[in-house]
Structure 1
Amino acid sequence: MNRTSSPPLDPRLLNEAVDWAIASRRSIRAFEPTPVNKADIEAILEVARFSATGVNMQPWRVHVVTGEIKERLSAAIADIDNDPNHDLALPDPYEYYPREWTSPYIDRRRQVGWQLYGLLGITKGDKQRMHEQHARNYRFFDAPVGLLFTIDRVLGEGSLLDYGMFLQSVMIAARGRGLHTCPQAAFLKYHHVISEVLGIPSSQMLVCGMSLGYADMDSIENSLVTEREPVSRFATFHHNNKETQP
């Protein structure tokens, strides 16, 4: 791809296409078994590699799992996930969530949980159903493609910021090809078994996993569309020494 070439669409259509790809991205939790062409996976990563990165460090490493190796990885994680004593002892490689939840973040977390479990008919206190639903993460929600992202442990927090932009680029490029994704921090505590199955060296740290495929839009969980705060709630415009809202 020529990074300095003219856009392929007129400005209005280009604007609409880019905005659509960003706004239509959402976490899909049920996928069709339809295979994804390797060429499409490579094309998505080809585009995502142009993501912004401090001093061109490009800290990302991607492990693509399909077929038998994906099934073997999911089975290895399931063996541990179904053993509460073993599962509880597993540490995350880094702290993704805050140690202490405060508003408005805890409120948003609870809301999406209530919405998802409500759609699935899982009632409060039904630990078995909750466990079964959460365990679907480790089957990549039946997507044909799983992505595991790692980073060199020697790199700092700034490289994780770069990584976030890379992950977003992967998800947006997928939308442009009619595909959906689900980024998953749920894989973090299983980084040791993931590294063992995939032969990832100890110098690499797991950042997250991601499901990739065609959405099963007949599945009730995929009707969930989370709310986002309006610009007026998170942006402050500074002009002439005064703060103004949009």
Structure 2
Amino acid sequence: MSCTDYAELTATVDRLLKERYSARYYLPDPVDKPWKVYCIAGSVRDAISAEMVAADKSKVPYKARYDYFPPVLPAEHAARKFDFGQLSLARWDEFFDAPVALIFTIHGELVQGSWMDLGHPMARMASAQAGYFMQSVTIGLRARGLEPVTQLSIPQYDDIIRKHLKTIPDTHIVACGMALGYPDLEKVKENYVFPKKLQLGEVLEVHGM
């Protein structure tokens, strides 16, 4: 591969990463089947979403099988969590009307290193969404004109999800969700508030070069 080819690839990947955002407004256009995760669409997606929305409105306590946040967040993370909270929308649909959602699970006995391999989005509180598998999914989606939203609220509805997706093993934890579809750019332009992103110098220290 020539230097020119690498330069074009680098520019494309950099653009996909830097321009990523959580669309939250979607067109009803259908999406081709993505990777082999728990992928839900159509009537299955609608049924799960409706039950989640009803559970949220009923105020019945639902709990994830793991603690996403510590009892007390460090100040810098609490501030970013507050900023993201300003983007909250009325839950007319748990998946923001996106036609497809992905449910990511991980074996319950695995610890921090394995969660990093999954690419759990806790890194969003420090910088941008990061990780391995989920980040690869994100880039792959964006390369096809799709926009994903990583969803932190999904694990609390573990019981509801398992009722509809009976193939999830008891040994696995529902770790995260991701809504995806073709973004409704007009609504994004009208309504979306882009959160402040940390600058490179705030997350990168260089030593010895």
Q: TM-score range by the shorter chain?
A: 0.7 to 0.9
Unaligned runs of 5+ residues in structure 2 are 120-131
Contact 1:137–1:186 under 8 Å retained in 2: no
Q: Which of 66, 73, 80 is the matching residue for 1:108? A: 80
Cα offset, 1:134, TM superposition: 4.8
- After superposition, what is the alpha-carbon deviation per residue over 1:153-210, rounded to whole angstroms, capped at 9, x for unaligned? 2322211110001111101110100110001011111001101111022111101010
Cα offset, 1:137, TM superposition: 5.8
Q: Decide whether aligned partners of structure 1 residues 66 and 161 sit closer, same or farther in structure 2, where only a CA change above 3 A counts.
A: same
Tell me how far apart the structure 1 counterparts of residues 63 and 76 of structure 2 sit (CA, whole Å): 26
Tell me how far apart the structure 1 counterparts of residues 69 and 93 of structure 2 sit (CA, whole Å): 17
Answering whether residue 1 of structure 2 is matched by residue 26 of structure 1, we say no
Please tell me the residue identity of whatever aligns with 2:52.
Answer: I
Q: Which of 78, 84, 94 is the matching residue for 2:66? A: 94
Tell me how far apart the structure 1 counterparts of residues 151 and 136 of structure 2 sit (CA, whole Å): 16
User: How many residues are paired up?
Assistant: 195
Unaligned runs of 5+ residues in structure 1 are 1-5, 46-60, 118-132, 241-246
| Aligned match of 1:145 | 100
Contact 1:31–1:142 under 8 Å retained in 2: yes
Normalised by the length of structure 2, the TM-score is 0.84
Normalised by the length of structure 1, the TM-score is 0.72
* Runs of 4+ with >4 A deviation: none
Matches within 5 A, 1:1-246: 6=1, 10-38=5-33, 41=34, 45=35, 62-84=37-59, 86=60, 88=61, 90-114=62-86, 116=87, 133-136=89-92, 138=94, 140-164=95-119, 165-199=132-166, 200-220=168-188, 223-239=192-208
In terms of fraction of residues, the more helix-rich structure is: 1
Tell me how far apart the structure 2 counterparts of residues 135 and 78 of structure 1 sit (CA, whole Å): 7
In angstroms, what is the RMSD of aligned CA positions? Answer: 2.3
Q: Decide whether aligned partners of structure 1 residues 174 and 222 sit closer, same or farther in structure 2, where only a CA change above 3 A counts.
A: farther
SS of the aligned residue for 2:185 comes to: coil
Q: Percent identity?
A: 32
SS of the aligned residue for 2:91 comes to: helix
Please tell me the residue identity of whatever aligns with 1:14.
Answer: L
Tell me how far apart the structure 2 counterparts of residues 94 and 180 of structure 1 sit (CA, whole Å): 27
- After superposition, what is the alpha-carbon deviation per residue over 1:208-230, rounded to whole angstroms, capped at 9, x for unaligned? 01001001112157632222211
Cα offset, 1:136, TM superposition: 4.4
State which drifts further: 104-113 or 154-163: 104-113
Contact 2:25–2:98 under 8 Å retained in 1: yes
Please tell me the residue identity of whatever aligns with 1:187.
Answer: I
| Aligned match of 2:127 | none
Tell me how far apart the structure 2 counterparts of residues 147 and 35 of structure 1 sit (CA, whole Å): 14
Please tell me the residue identity of whatever aligns with 2:18.
Answer: A
Cα offset, 1:72, TM superposition: 1.0
State which drifts further: 100-109 or 183-192: 100-109
